[in-house]
Amino acid sequence: MSELFAKYFPNVVYQGWTGDGGWLPAIGQTLYMTFWSAIFGGILGLIFGIGLVLTDEDGISPNRNLFSFFDKVVSLFRAIPFIILLAFIAPLTNLIVGTQIGTTAALVPLSLGVFPFYARQVQVALKSVDHGIIEAAQSVGATFSDLVFDVYLKEARAELIRVTTVTLISLIGLTAMAGAIGAGGLGNMAIAYGYNRFANDTTLVATLLVLILVLLVQLIGDLLAKVFNHKNA
Amino acid sequence: MTKEIIKLDNISVTFEQKKKKIKAVQDITLHVNQGDIYGVVGYSGAGKSTLVRVINLLQLPSAGRVEVSGDVLYEKSAQSQQIVSTKKLREKRRKIGMIFQHFNLLNEQTVIRNVAFALKHSGLKEKEIEAKAQRLLDLVGLGSRKNAYPTQLSGGQQQRVAIARALANDPEILISDEGTSALDPKNTAQILDLLKDLNEKFGLTVVLITHEMDAVKRIANKVAVMDNGRIIEQGDLLQIFTNAKKQLTREFIGGGSAKAIATLRDFQLAKLKSDERMVQLTYIGNSVSEPLLVKLYRDFDVEANIIYSNIEVLRGTPVGTLFVIIKGTPAGQQQAIDYLKAQKVIITQIAGQKPTEGSREK
């Protein structure tokens, strides 16, 4: 079995499990980048998404200036292609993590790249909460934080899980590009060790691993969304 | 001495939409007494919902004065504008329950958590909140469904939960914004009876917004008719019912008799001679015990020809309506009318000479 595998996937075996260019470090780097930039980008996206909904004209505390600020920042960052963003914000990355190269350095552009996408998704998810429900909550004297946490976030929970899943998947896609600044990961494996060295078997296996990761995220996301949805039960 | 619990004075609400001003509510004054069930009726877009949202300032007016149980919530004069503080407003809102056409429950929380949500700032402990929410659910007959989610319940049941939530902070006022409009007739009747029950048991003041006159007839004691942002007629239900001045009011309240008048007019079914006139006789409850029309003929030599009759129920009391053409000498007619009045029959002139009082014709 392993002999057969070695015959058809010589380059995959050549990369080895551990060490520089090994499979385990590559998987680890992809997971590391996805996890931490999901945390940072997620928090930032959530703040901007909630801000957009609350300060909107029909939100619970309309504020034209603040809305316009959130809106412009999100639109601006969404407009920059990620591969350019990687290079463009290198000085900022240097300032924050002390280096512009490597897996940790990639977290800054990844977070900044994913947050505007997430912010828009969160905005749409929260907008799906019926205005009547907000009004009913206000009519029993709900406070601002009641409205945000008990009404908006809880009512849109299933929708938020769905958009988070979509965002995570697109984030996994972004980590593949982070190889350009030496961040490693499965994307880098597929390009640097596979494509560039004409090792098609390596590219194939790296792609399959990314695919499995995406499917896993999708599966868990769908499951959670189902558990937390009582609206259309 | 009845207390005026809601006082809306000279309220106007103007929406600005792309340089266009929409006057949703124009200079309305509406006072509601404690213990009233006040019906506000009108077609869609008349401004009913906008008007009642002013009571708990879910809708900020553009002018006027809002006073609820002695506290001024909003006042705007030419010089100054005064709005109650956010904190105080939240406290006031808890004393003004509100239910909605589409129930507006928190879909992701159980029935009992929905009620408990309203009690979050009541100062009660979690255990006490739970107990009170349970009591409220029992009150609306849903105690056994406390762990269900709203979408697992029927519309009528959801509205009951909404009522339990609205009552959580022991409000003095309950506003129903088309609260029965999305329900079937049976559920509508049940919800209305529940509101009336609460009104009688706890002295709850109810403001009932609806486009269904039947709802108002069933439980309200006062009614206001809205059209185009204004109240065109308001007062006692019975008084409005028997003596509506405006065509729209008649359309709404008159029900059968308004249609009858229109039919009579359109087809000229009742061509009156000079010694005839057509009147509407309204009698309430069991007030009519004598064979009236026979007596008219026998004692006053006045013939009465019935051309339409109808009976309706207002707040549980049957109210009969008769359209009759009476024929006789002027003196005989006057005597007949005086006699009917003595029998507590309400008389409204519809057509013919020599209108008595409360003429409905121009």
- How distant is the Cα of B217 from the closest Cα of chain A, in angstroms? 27
Q: Which of A78-87, A153-162, B84-93, B269-278 has the lowest mean pLDDT?
A: B269-278
Q: For residue A1, tell me if it sits in a domain.
A: no
Which of A138, A154, A229 has its CB closest to that of B109? A154
- Pairwise CA distance, residues B189 & B184, whole Å: 9
Superfamily of B4-248 according to CATH? P-loop containing nucleotide triphosphate hydrolases (3.40.50.300)
Residue A74 and residue A113 in contact, taking contact as beta carbons nearer than 8 Å: no
User: Which residues, in sequence order, are CB contacts of B237 under 8 Å at separation 6+?
Assistant: B39, B216, B217, B220, B221, B222, B223, B314, B315
Residue B271 and residue B316 in contact, taking contact as beta carbons nearer than 8 Å: no
Residue B42 and residue B52 in contact, taking contact as beta carbons nearer than 8 Å: no
Beta strands B4-17 and B20-33 are: antiparallel
A vs B: CB pairs below 8 A: 79
- Pairwise CA distance, residues A89 & B48, whole Å: 55
Contacts of B92 in chain A (CB under 8 A): 141
Cross-chain Cβ contact A142/B120 below 8 Å: yes
Would you state the pLDDT for residue B205?
Answer: 96
CATH number at residue A146: 1.10.3720.10
Residue B343 and residue B290 in contact, taking contact as beta carbons nearer than 8 Å: yes
Does the pLDDT of residue B327 top 70, yes or no?
yes
- How distant is the Cα of A155 from the closest Cα of chain B, in angstroms? 6
- How distant is the Cα of B144 from the closest Cα of chain A, in angstroms? 19
Question: Tell me, what DSSP letter sits at residue B250?
Answer: I
pLDDT by residue (tens digit) across B129-144?
Answer: 999 999 999 999 999 9
**Which tops the pLDDT comparison, B257 or B202?**
B202
Please name the fold of domain B258-352: Alpha-Beta Plaits (3.30.70)
User: Which residues of B sit within 8 Å Cβ distance of A?
Assistant: 56, 58, 90-94, 96-98, 100, 102, 104-109, 117-118, 120-121, 149-152, 162, 165-166, 168-169
Does the pLDDT of residue B361 top 60, yes or no?
no
Instruction: Please give the tally of structural domains in chain A.
Output: 1
Does the pLDDT of residue A124 top 50, yes or no?
yes
Which of A141, A155, A231 has its CB closest to that of B121? A141
In this structure, what are the phi and psi dihedrals at residue B50, rounded to the nearest 5 degrees? -60, -45
Would you state the pLDDT for residue B358?
Answer: 40
Cross-chain Cβ contact A150/B117 below 8 Å: yes
Contacts of B93 in chain A (CB under 8 A): 138-141
Q: For residue A8, tell me if it sits in a domain.
A: no
Domain boundaries, chain B: 4-248, 258-352
Cross-chain Cβ contact B108/A228 below 8 Å: yes
% of chain A beyond a pLDDT of 90 = 74
Contacts of B108 in chain A (CB under 8 A): 154-155, 157-158, 228-231
Residue B70 zone, left/alpha/beta (φ > 0; ψ -120 to 50; rest): left
Does the pLDDT of residue B254 top 80, yes or no?
no
Q: How confident is the model at residue B270 (pLDDT cuts 50, 70, 90)?
A: low
Q: For residue A53, tell me if it sits in a domain.
A: yes
- Please name the residue that has the structure tokens 């896993």: A216
Cross-chain Cβ contact B58/A142 below 8 Å: no
Would you state the pLDDT for residue B354?
Answer: 47
Which of B93, B100, B118 has its CB closest to that of A132? B100
* Sequential DSSP letters for B289-309: -S-HHHHHHHHH--EEEEEEE
Sign of CA pseudo-dihedral B22, B27, B30, B31: positive
Does the pLDDT of residue B255 top 80, yes or no?
no
- Pairwise CA distance, residues B144 & B137, whole Å: 8
Cross-chain Cβ contact A231/B151 below 8 Å: yes
Beta strands B71-76 and B63-68 are: antiparallel
Mean pLDDT value of segment B139-156: 94
User: Which residues of A sit within 8 Å Cβ distance of B?
Assistant: 130, 132-133, 135-143, 146, 150-151, 154-155, 157-158, 228-233
Question: Tell me, what DSSP letter sits at residue B253?
Answer: I
pLDDT by residue (tens digit) across B188-243?
Answer: 999 999 999 999 999 999 999 998 888 898 999 999 999 999 999 999 988 888 77
- Pairwise CA distance, residues A134 & A157, whole Å: 15
Q: For residue A12, tell me if it sits in a domain.
A: no
Boundaries of domain holding A163: 25-227
Mean pLDDT value of segment A56-79: 95
Look up residue A133 and give its two tokens.
């429900």
Q: Which of B4-8, B11-15, B127-131, B286-290 has the lowest mean pLDDT?
A: B286-290
Does the pLDDT of residue B355 top 70, yes or no?
no
Cross-chain Cβ contact A136/B100 below 8 Å: yes
Chain A residue whose CA is closest to B115? A140
- Pairwise CA distance, residues A26 & A29, whole Å: 5
Which among B106, B145, B158 is the top mutation candidate for probing chain A, defined by the most A β-carbons within 10 Å of its own β-carbon?
A: B106
Does the pLDDT of residue A82 top 70, yes or no?
yes
Q: Which of A110-124, B164-178, B221-235, B243-257 has the lowest mean pLDDT?
A: B243-257
Mean pLDDT value of segment B307-322: 83
Mean pLDDT over each residue of chain A, to the nearest integer: 92
Residue A120 and residue A70 in contact, taking contact as beta carbons nearer than 8 Å: no
Cα distances (angstroms) measured from residue A114 to each of A26, A111, A222, B356: 21, 5, 21, 81
Cross-chain Cβ contact A139/B120 below 8 Å: no
- Pairwise CA distance, residues A34 & A32, whole Å: 6
Would you state the pLDDT for residue B288?
Answer: 61
Amino acid at B52: V
Cross-chain Cβ contact B118/A141 below 8 Å: yes
Q: For residue A130, tell me if it sits in a domain.
A: yes
Q: How confident is the model at residue B359 (pLDDT cuts 50, 70, 90)?
A: very low
Mean pLDDT value of segment A5-27: 86
